[in-house]
Structure 1
Amino acid sequence: MAIRGAAVVDWTGRFEQLAAHEATLAGDELDELGQAAWFVGRDDVSQRAWERAHLRFLDDGDLASAVRCVFWLGFTLSEHGDGVRAGAWMARLMELCARPAATPATESVRALCTAVAASGRGEAAASVPLYRDAIERADAAHDADTATLATMGLGRALLADGRIAEAFATFDGVMLRIADGRVSDRAAGPAYCAVIASLLSRGDVERARVWTRELGDWCDAQRGLEPFRGECTLHRASVMQLGGEWSAAAAAAAQVCATEERTETLANAWYRVADLHRVAGRPGACRDALRRAAALGREVQPGLALLHRDTADLAGAWAGLATARATAVDPATRSEVLAAAVWIALERGHVDEARDAAAELAACAAAFDTVYLRALSSRADGEVAVASGRPLEALPLLRTAWAAWRRLDAPYDAALTRVSIGAAVRALGDGEGADLEFDAARGVLEGLGAIPDLARLERTATAPAASGGADPGLSRREREVLALVSRGWSNRRIAEHLFLSERTVARHVGSILAKLGVPSRSAATAYAFEHGLAATG
């Protein structure tokens, strides 16, 4: 669904045009200058313009417009962390709204500010009816901006109060309000970003992907836009990484790191950069990016723990997760910490610890009930079942998780899940079926360049299996490759024949030589003929 069909707005041009005549501008022009300056990142000019505009409107007897300017002054100062001045202007707003000339529009703004104040005090449940009152007043006054911001606030309050389904439905309502074209750009931008951030933090990737696309389209239609460019780009990077577009995600996150000034957004961008370095097998670059994120105040788990795991420091990985598990409250972050805890506990051979983490993850998934969280939980439960010697129980859990990753268009997570499916299938005695799962996962991971995960896959796929006779644990695929090696075929020809990459074939050949304990392809060929493993016909 396309949200807005508005024409491109050149905020830079409009700002330069208005700023050149700032001293002579009327109230509505000063208000527009304030908005244009805010969009191009000139906060000093926007604050000065809105201060002057509100006084000019009061002189003209236009109380509603004066209140609007004061509201945006307080809102933007609050967004920049200037709570003292934001509070002063919000107090000014309440004083203006109490004047005899107050209108339905000013009453709706006052109702919104009352609700925001309650939320700020941590009174989520109490703020819900206040936000609903603000929405009703704003709709009655035909004030689309205030109604949209109040709906956004209501969604956040419902989330904080644990009313998850209502919150997600409310966020959908925010976007539908923007869709009707009556919401101004100054309200649409904050609404987009706040809703997407809330969805991502709660693991609702499906909704976040849709609205991130719309936010990107909206940003692209705003020339000179600054306040939301970094946030928008970072949301895109998160969604692109999930979708397997790692190069594009890395470029987007790096762009934010190079241009962003807001501390929180910059810290999140460095963490995203770190995670992309990690999955690509660049531990030094990952560690440097994590250090930058931590210096800006960002929690760096589970990324740091997974980096320790990738570099074979399982003790360090587990120690780093202990604090994160105790302190993480953001559902998406907490679920990722718990999923990492399952992996690391299993690699340490501590199945009971993995089971405990999986149980916590299941509770988180049940509370928020999104496809993403359910997929994480099902995979974790399946991996614990495999490690506990219950592969038959594990398979439906893992296949459910795989189907969910496919629904989310998440190829990396789907591939990791297929590795676990392969382990379960092999434990049930189906070596050929396991090889098919491993090959499918290998193709995806190679395409992504997921070096650490490919190494783990090879350890899983080539783990010694129960076998006797002359075949020392060769998998079905390795026997196929050995048979073709015995014909004198090159890796390229074998790859074309088996529909594999040359890199995969080379890895199989290396594994075959290691398992047979021979130094060369010719020695492997001799072994194959000696033990009846060579190609015939």
Structure 2
Amino acid sequence: METTDALDAARSAFGQRAWLDAWSGFRKARESGPMPADDHDALAQAAWRVGEIDESLAAFTDAYRLYQREARPRPAAMAAVLLAVHHLEWGDGAIGSGWMSRAHRLLRDEADCVEQGYPIYFDIASALTRGANDEAADHARRMQTIGRRYGDACLLAAGLLGEGRALVGLGRAGDGLPLLDEAMLTAFSDGLHPIWSGAVFCNLMDVCHELGDLTRAAEWARTATRWSDVVPATVPYRGAWRVHRARVLRMRGAWGPAGRVAEHAAGDPAHVRVCVLAEALYEAGEARRLRGDATAAEDFFRRAHQLGRDPQPGLALLRLDQGRMDAAAASIRAALVAESGNALARARLHPAQVEIALAAGDPGTARASAAELEATAATYGSSGLRAEAAQALGAVLLADGKADDALAVLRTARRMWQELDAPYAVARTRLLLAEVYLALGDEDAAHLESEAAHDRLRGLGAPPHDRGTAPLRDGPGRRAPLPDGLTEREAEVLRNVAAGDSNRQVATALRLSEKTVARHLSNIFAKLGLSSRTAAAAYAFEHGLAAPPRG
């Protein structure tokens, strides 16, 4: 086939969005002889869409050089913009900055044109990185104006994305999230180049994660999955899609599928950013931790850390599961220090610190952490943050002996988690409610909450040690009150002591610190007028709190 015929066929396929035929056709035409710059640009776009990323980048570079030779600065600048976006998104900051500088220079002396809107994207990114959210919002609105003037969907989507992120950063999530939704709608409905669609999707999902907006994340993850299923697996952003999908599945309680999706993403490193690989490893670790596979979880967390991802709060919670209270407290404390000044990043860590601090007998730390989380939730107003804050506050109130106040707060948290369809969080909140009802003397309600929680945890595949206190022993209406003013937790400690466990073994079994176990024992001895573990064990046998040993 003559070069002209091959180019005509490739151009026709490109116009019909038959990307594989276009890519193959342009490659054949290029082998037969020189091609114009526009055809190199078309080859680059087709190669991108069929997953030949290295070839696409080389073709964009060739197009840039040929546009320069043809004295066509505008399309040359557009090739430079796409190369800059790719390298910046993939962490190649110096290369991306160089291409960005070329795009600015090429357009500096041009009359007003649509191409001048694209370099603004880098101004937005720079301002967001510096925390200059007002400046970023101004740049983004200017980008949108140019996009609307010229009817350019890419400019409009990128501008909406930038303004949405800036407004969220300013604490105006209610204003920013609808703009991000509109950017996503534009990206998926207007046939944008995948580099822009991918950037919009990943930014929106990152914001959903920061805000704990599980409902929005799930909706857009489904949309992106349908859209990406027709794109070859080697296309950039596919790994990020998998990570975001794994995160949503984990929050929905589908820990097995979440782990498989995350491990798939981690095992497919071609054209995937290091930070995405690290996040995939972290998500795989979380899925394993929740299912009780501590060895695999630790390995995934270690590998994530090697790639630069601080494996928190997962690693701290793993240490809590292992009964290593001091290590858990130190890990979560260090993670919070590292995120000083970043309210949303700290908000992801506070629920773990509250849980760990209460288990370690440190109510002051738990109280301060819950208060900061509540303030962040009030600022950003997202449903996920408000649910986390309510659960944390309820746990602290319960620990402070304020069961009346804890009841209303935890009932609100349970309702919010149910609305978010977060079954694990619902179950954990129900366990706290069971303790509240016991403290208030409502044993029927305590039994119902405990039974519902344990049924759900069993269904999720949570390991037995992660099911909190055992279900109430004899069901509603048949459970005898604990003698001599013992609390349910004190009875648990006494039961383990009667079985011959040391303080360390009791702490591991009940996920408490040894200091907390010692405090419980001191309270037990004081209430019962006892002075030894042997006497405490005899009391437990006598009052039916533990079964005496056989033989």
**Fold shared per TM-score above 0.5:** yes
Distance 2:229 2:158 in 1: 22
Structure 1 counterpart of 2:94: 84
Distance 1:127 1:332 in 2: 18
TM-score normalised by L of structure 1: 0.81
Structure 1 counterpart of 2:302: 291
1:10–1:222 contact (8 Å) kept in structure 2: no
Written as runs of structure 1 = structure 2, the 5 A alignment for 1:330-349 is: 331=343, 333-349=345-361
Structure 2 counterpart of 1:314: 325
Secondary structure of the structure 2 residue equivalent to 1:222: coil
> For 2:284, which of 273, 282, 287 is the aligned residue?
273
1:294–1:300 contact (8 Å) kept in structure 2: yes
| Structure 1 pair 370–57 and aligned structure 2 pair: CA distance change class (3 A) | same
> For 2:81, which of 53, 68, 71 is the aligned residue?
71
**Gaps (5+ residues) in structure 1?**
1-7, 474-510, 524-537
Structure 2 counterpart of 1:409: 421
Structure 1 counterpart of 2:155: 146
2:211–2:384 contact (8 Å) kept in structure 1: no
2:74–2:106 contact (8 Å) kept in structure 1: no
| Structure 1 pair 117–359 and aligned structure 2 pair: CA distance change class (3 A) | closer
The structural deviation recorded for 1:56 is: 3.5
> For 1:229, which of 229, 238, 247 is the aligned residue?
238
Structure 2 counterpart of 1:256: 265
Distance 1:17 1:382 in 2: 64
Partner deviation per Cα, 1:27-72 (whole Å, 9 max, x = no partner): 3332232223334554432222112223434555654333221210
Instruction: Give the letter for the 2:439 counterpart.
Output: A
Residue 467 (str. 1) matches residue 482 (str. 2): yes
Written as runs of structure 1 = structure 2, the 5 A alignment for 1:334-373 is: 334-373=346-385
The structural deviation recorded for 1:98 is: 2.1
Distance 2:399 2:17 in 1: 57
Structure 2 counterpart of 1:214: 223
> For 2:185, which of 165, 169, 176 is the aligned residue?
176
Distance 2:375 2:210 in 1: 16
Residue 378 (str. 1) matches residue 412 (str. 2): no
Residue 132 (str. 1) matches residue 162 (str. 2): no
Partner deviation per Cα, 1:317-363 (whole Å, 9 max, x = no partner): 11111111222265554223211111111112222222111111111
Residue 517 (str. 1) matches residue 547 (str. 2): yes
The structural deviation recorded for 1:165 is: 2.7
1:310–1:452 contact (8 Å) kept in structure 2: no
The structural deviation recorded for 1:519 is: 6.7
| Structure 1 pair 142–312 and aligned structure 2 pair: CA distance change class (3 A) | same
Distance 2:461 2:198 in 1: 35
1:309–1:344 contact (8 Å) kept in structure 2: yes
The structural deviation recorded for 1:199 is: 2.1
Distance 1:429 1:26 in 2: 83
Distance 1:320 1:419 in 2: 25
Distance 2:17 2:260 in 1: 26
Structure 2 counterpart of 1:21: 29
Residue 31 (str. 1) matches residue 46 (str. 2): no
Secondary structure of the structure 1 residue equivalent to 2:91: coil
Distance 1:270 1:460 in 2: 38
| Structure 1 pair 9–359 and aligned structure 2 pair: CA distance change class (3 A) | farther
Structure 2 counterpart of 1:245: 254
2:86–2:195 contact (8 Å) kept in structure 1: no
1:422–1:438 contact (8 Å) kept in structure 2: yes
Q: Which moved more, 1:253-262 or 1:403-412?
A: 253-262
Distance 2:167 2:265 in 1: 31
The structural deviation recorded for 1:114 is: 4.0
Distance 2:91 2:42 in 1: 23
| Structure 1 pair 412–11 and aligned structure 2 pair: CA distance change class (3 A) | farther
Q: Which moved more, 1:59-68 or 1:77-86?
A: 59-68
| Structure 1 pair 156–47 and aligned structure 2 pair: CA distance change class (3 A) | same
Distance 2:193 2:365 in 1: 51
Identity over the aligned pairs, expressed in percent? 31
Distance 1:155 1:406 in 2: 28
Distance 1:443 1:332 in 2: 33
1:423–1:460 contact (8 Å) kept in structure 2: no
Distance 1:224 1:331 in 2: 35
Distance 1:312 1:89 in 2: 52
TM-score normalised by L of structure 2: 0.79
The structural deviation recorded for 1:454 is: 4.0
| Structure 1 pair 113–416 and aligned structure 2 pair: CA distance change class (3 A) | closer
Distance 2:426 2:201 in 1: 29
The structural deviation recorded for 1:461 is: 7.0
How many corresponding residue pairs? Answer: 473
Distance 1:461 1:254 in 2: 40
1:201–1:331 contact (8 Å) kept in structure 2: no
The structural deviation recorded for 1:117 is: 4.3
Instruction: Give the letter for the 1:345 counterpart.
Output: A
2:285–2:297 contact (8 Å) kept in structure 1: yes
Structure 1 counterpart of 2:206: 197
Q: Which moved more, 1:228-237 or 1:105-114?
A: 105-114
Instruction: Give the letter for the 2:226 counterpart.
Output: D
1:71–1:93 contact (8 Å) kept in structure 2: yes
Structure 2 counterpart of 1:163: 172
Structure 1 counterpart of 2:404: 392
**Gaps (5+ residues) in structure 2?**
1-15, 489-540
